[in-house]
Structure 1
């Protein structure tokens, strides 16, 4: 049934395009003889297939974001652009833990035990984990978003697709640029570029940027900003034409980010202190976080990153082709301490910290060439990653007491404090910090060999066959440390010395009857027991491995083929069909010693059309796809136990859909573009860790998303020109499933909805001087101030009875002054 529905959908999409296109062509108005139409649609050249081709000749669903779109939306990184690429979603409210989703397939590398599903590449170099992907734009020429598996063309972790960032290379002309931008919420931005040729064979290109903001969320109690921050970055590139046939490109990137961690707005009504809300929190009582007061009592709630990267590219041309070598080193250190309870109450205190140290090496050799009948590329690569991660949960003895009362009906430290006060023992059990930590390391190595050959069978028919072999090896460690609460433990030792401890308590109250050695239903509650007690990492496997380093080692390998047929019935039309396999290595659950899972695999089937109607100055493409994804890895909050924990779950899913994009040069001064995606994504087989069967249910992905833009330039004679740009994006309503509410990522509540339709409109107006050296621009992002609830932070829901939420950004506006030469 699925195949029949897909076939009908594909035939309908293709027939609609094929039938409509000649009708459009027939309406073309040809200029009179002797008056040729000088207006042309800009040619877009891409390197999606490891060779330079026009966009219209590439048999891949592909969307390109050019430099003009980046400028007109004032985008500073990838996270500012995803709404204008239907099917692409980037979660970057925490840029050190960013995740990507493409065609409904997400990258959930919350822990270093898993790998990304969407590969991000910069000048062909694999960017690695999410913590090193959402970096400031520096001299970006274009961004290519390739949908569907791209293993034979790009390499690692492109099971869902690839995002390829292409930067500008040092040129032979002296040029430079400086831009200053000021906006609301204390926005200040600067960037500069200098291209400096040094003779005929060498050139330098230098870039720098700085950005800071006062933030748009303030603490209702202190008035201090909760999301202020700054970052600065630099890039330097050196090009050397060693000879007529050899070129070297050396580049270096650095970034330093220091900002507040994402705000968490509490949505649970709190009784007056020292009262606490019911545990768990009642979703029926949630308040709307948009416009709601925000609070925090987390000290040093910063999110920081220091990033460095260097790349060396060598390219040599032979008579028969090209040989290139690409060597890359990338390293980053991140720290992210985030509010979780959304309050400033010590009895509800809960925060989390993620600390990562990551270093990667990448080496690739690539051979490419062509003959009259063949275009080919082949190569081999090596990748190594050494990374460490610390996952920390901070509470206080006050919030531990709240959790114990809510979970076990026993206010643990409250009872002991009452006893101490009764006997006059000089101890204080409240107001002390409590920290739990899980440490992991990974040493990963990957080897690959790949090839991709295009056979020009006839003047109109091309056949492409690609194949990639990959072997991944990973060594992983887990260390669940004893909690740190030195002041509290010392106070408990004092109580034991006075004879208040040990106290026998019912084992059922704490869920620890496995520790009842004599079978009387009681366990001794003493200082030693409490010193070894954990709240966040208290599952049986973690507790059984307390203070012990566990190790594991696994290897995975895969053959991933790609087959494409493209047919050109005329010079302006291409029809194509493809089948490709995607692969992602297996991995580990960072919070469960010894827990490993299999690799992911996806089979993607696609067919489409691309047309270039030059008379109408219209270029468009449409494709229909269907994929089957097995063993999809995702981070999920397991709420089946009293204490929630993050686990890696695996599921099988299927999806079918249609992608469409078009460009139209309506006149010499007006350009229009449009892109859309429709997708139906469902779980084929999935039972969540908390026992909910989601098989056959939607994965949460909205059916429809689209983006449209237009730019109009008005010549002002000898006074320069004026350009106005408007861009709008739409994201459809999320399709929730039975497990959405526990994850806080989709659902309807009494006062708000998560996953509702989203609209964003960006406006831009620029005056440019007659010499084009000076320009002044005004911009508005999210012009209609549309606000949405992004999701819930539910870690504290069943622990201390609080739930917090994240909301989308408000309207931003400002001015920009630029000079270039």
Structure 2
């Protein structure tokens, strides 16, 4: 299909949107002013201790959080500041227990995002998707690369838990994560922030609203974030591990030429330089195998004798439970670089008192230059004069276009939403894995190999300079998605305590691509995926009292099929789908001093996409050190069961205390493992602890005779051990992280309203260390390896608001 024609037609539809008008009756509820699927949060409690209402727009219209029959967690700007959240990876501490965020491999440059046990193992590819949709100002983000860019002026981050297949569509079987930036106000004002901390950290941010001019309001945002490595690299001139440099800018303009019509244009661009977390050797020879001597290895032609394990170089330090501060082996390491950019145009037209038409048009793109040398000697066996330290290089570019039309309206006893959606993307990647170091004859020393290959480039003769790569794989993929959706809520006349919501979404997905390079050889392995489906939703809600609301919900969602570009043939796999049954209650108790929300759910998933991971550890093999994956759809039904609870209370004036808990049970059927002759293998859901919990306490004390106040914040977050690989029984450590902040807030600087806030913050306040990602894949050749969480960080920050 000619995509230029499709884009032109859709843009023409946007222009004609303002001309489409039909009569409607007054709305029962107010359509959301912001088309993004978001939630607006306010201060949790009033001065009297009564918890304030929170307005959400998860149903595309403004409703009370407590009366909206969806499990939603809202992360407002206060939470982001109290926890010093600068990027999505900072939410990996467990801020929302059912939301799981982790690095893919050890890389900050790509994140794994999951909700309610729908967590992909490897979505960091050209031809596959995640099970949780991530949205930026209402625009779906097609790739996981670039997700850890610096956050701009965030109005809210909200987590919609459970399948969102009706209003959000494909790839939201676990839920949706929506990031919403603050819109232009049309009044001059803004804020300037500067801070510094340990590990050489500093951050600055500027957010400025310009006065409205000719009905146009403009807002400008800029951010800079930096942190030095928390694991140093002994090799001079090379970057350590855990470092980042982030910079980004965002501009938005809203034009309101007449009442009832607005056009919002926005553009953002960001650059994220980062280095991976260090992969440490946690133990050596855990299976107690005979240790081969150097003489035995030399006598065997430089290979390990069968049934033995290689000796450990005296230079390699086995860390055990200790996070290393300086790596034992210096390796070449430079920053990975993610560049993201996007433009969107949003049109809103109130054609009648009860009907609003909307259009969201967006172009986005991301490119990633990945330089991951996180393992050093800790993931490669020692052999005399052997090469080690696998440098994982990947160069990916992606561009996407999306168009969505929405009609949000009301009739007597009926609120409805209907719309059309189109999405297309192109992604391309090439990858190489040169070794950077070489042992001497007895392992007491090593040399750094030349980054420029001399002679004919091959798998055993390559470097990491441009022009010296031996590309192990290369692929490109295209995706197209079309959808039509509608949802309506009916409240019977005379019985306004009952609400019945029906919804459905029809989606047609097409994807194709080619694996054109395998092990340096040109190939032609094409794949296609073509599928249509309908996702229904039924919700029955009952207002037991003015402050107690009950609901029961049935919904479905799915994750599109695709192909694994780490495989050898690019064979396609099918979609996975989930059916969800959920009951819940939302209650404001004791004169609205206690808010208690409960949810219980059963999800049955079919076609579960399982990645079988294999690294060739045989030094004599032509694919030695090659990382290969094959993806299969698991037979039968995967079971996910869970209970969630959120409580917020204001026990005394100025204090708010809250806690959240998530219990998640998962079970995946035995699945044929292609690396074990298709033997049925037990597989696991990654990064999903059985029990996870978070608690916090906030306390504000006004300063006598001043508008200023002192604010105290403390939070604690716990999670059980979890699997980090789908086909390994090894689990991570349990996790416990505390964060804290003390702020002197709203200090008056001028009579015009300029105020300052000074704060002292700390993440991982107790400096706990734990392994959040662990593998026993090398247990027979070396030992388990893992990645530790970041150490304690602490800093001072000041913000001036004007």
Into which bin does the TM-score normalised by the smaller protein fall? 0.7 to 0.9
* Equivalent-residue separation in structure 2 for 1:400 and 1:374 (angstroms): 77
Distance in 1 between residues matched to 2:741 and 2:655, nearest whole Å: 14
3-state secondary structure, aligned to 1:70: helix
1:161-189 CA distance string (max 9 Å, x none) = 00011211101321110111100000010
Identify the residue that residue 811 of structure 1 maps to in structure 2.
792
Partner SS state of residue 574, structure 1: strand
Question: CA shift at 1:646, angstroms?
Answer: 2.0
**Matched residue SS, 2:794:** strand
The equivalent residue for 1:602 is 578
Aligned to 1:380: 420
Distance in 2 (CA, whole Å) between partners of 1:700 and 1:81 is 13
Q: Write the distance in 2 (CA, Å) between the matches of 1:348 and 1:696.
A: 30
Pairing partner for 1:251 from 249, 262, 266: 266
TM-score, L = length of structure 1: 0.78
Residue in 2 that maps onto 1:72: 82
Matched residues, number: 685
Other-structure match for 1:16 = none
1:600 offset after TM fit, Å?
Answer: 0.9
CA displacement, residues 328-383 of structure 1 (integer Å, 9 cap, x when unaligned): 11111101121254229862232211221000001000011012210000000100
> Offset of 1:481 from its aligned partner?
4.6
Aligned to 1:312: 345
Provide the residue aligned with 2:403 in structure 1.
Answer: 363
* 2:688 alignment partner in structure 1: 701
Distance 1:208 1:277 in 2: 55
Matching of residue 553 in structure 1 with residue 499 in structure 2: no
Name the larger-Rg structure: 1
- Which residue number in structure 2 is paired with residue 762 of structure 1? 739
Give the secondary structure class of the aligned counterpart of 2:377: coil
TM-score, scaled to structure 2: 0.80
Pairing partner for 1:447 from 478, 482, 487 = 482
| Structure 1 stretch displaced more, 266-275 or 138-147 | 266-275
1-side partners of 2:798 and 2:429: how far apart? Answer: 42
Question: Conserved in 2, the CA contact under 8 Å of 1:655 and 1:681?
Answer: yes
* CA distance in structure 1 between the partners assigned to 2:725 and 2:202 by the alignment: 42
Q: Distance in 2 between matches of 1:579 and 1:676?
A: 22
Structure-2 separation of matches of 1:272 and 1:670: 65
DSSP 3-state at the match of 2:78: helix
Cα displacement (A) at 1:387:
0.6
Q: 1:182-331 counterparts in 2 under 5 A?
A: 182-199=196-213, 201-220=215-234, 222=236, 225-227=239-241, 228-267=243-282, 287-288=319-320, 290-292=322-324, 293-295=326-328, 298-319=331-352, 320-331=354-365
Query: Following the alignment from structure 1 to structure 2, what is the Cα–Cα distance between the partners of residues 240 and 803?
Result: 58
Equivalent position to 1:779, from 744, 747, 761? 761
The match for 2:11 is: none
Change (3 A) 1:322 1:399: farther
Where do 5+ consecutive residues of structure 1 fail to align? Answer: 1-35, 403-428, 484-545, 748-754
Distance 1:160 1:120 in 2: 11
RMSD (Å), alpha carbons:
3.1
Change over 3 Å in CA distance of 1:134–1:431 after alignment to 2: closer
**Alignment of 1:140 onto 2:154:** yes
State how far apart, in whole Å, the 1-side matches of 2:282 and 2:250 are.
Answer: 42
Q: 1:436, CA displacement in angstroms?
A: 4.0
Unmatched 5+ stretches in structure 2? 1-45, 286-291, 443-458, 464-468, 619-623, 749-753
Task: Work out the CA distance in 2 between the residues paired with 1:598 and 1:330.
Answer: 26
Indicate the SS of the match to 2:145: helix
> Structure 1: how far apart are the matches of 2:311 and 2:182?
53
Aligned to 1:714: 701
Q: Does 1:52 align with 2:62?
A: yes
SS at match of 2:666: strand
Query: Shift of residue 699 of structure 1?
Result: 6.5
Looking at structure 2, the residues matched to 272 and 234 of structure 1 have their Cα atoms a distance apart, in angstroms, of 57
Change (3 A) 1:338 1:397: closer
The equivalent of 1:532 in structure 2 is: none
Name the one with the larger helix percent: 1
Cα distance in 1 for partners of 2:725, 2:209 equals 53
Verify the 8 A CA contact 2:483 2:507 in the aligned structure 1.
Answer: yes
Aligned partners of 1:62 and 1:731: how far apart in 2?
Answer: 20
**SS of the residue 2:645 aligns to:** strand
1:775 Cα offset (Å): 1.3
Change (3 A) 1:453 1:689: same
Does the 8 Å contact 1:341/1:803 carry over to 2? no
Partner of 2:108: 95
Evaluate the alpha carbon distance shift between residue 794 and residue 129 of structure 1 in structure 2; reply closer, same or farther with a 3 A threshold: farther
Verify: 1:635 aligned to 2:611, yes or no: yes
Matches of 2:482 and 2:675, distance apart in 1: 37
Pick from 336, 348, 373 the counterpart of residue 339 of structure 1: 373
| 2:230 match: secondary structure | coil
Task: Please state how far the C-alpha of 1:390 moved relative to its aligned partner.
Answer: 1.3
Indicate how the Cα distance of structure 1 residues 297 and 272 shifts in structure 2: closer, same or farther if over 3 A, else same.
farther
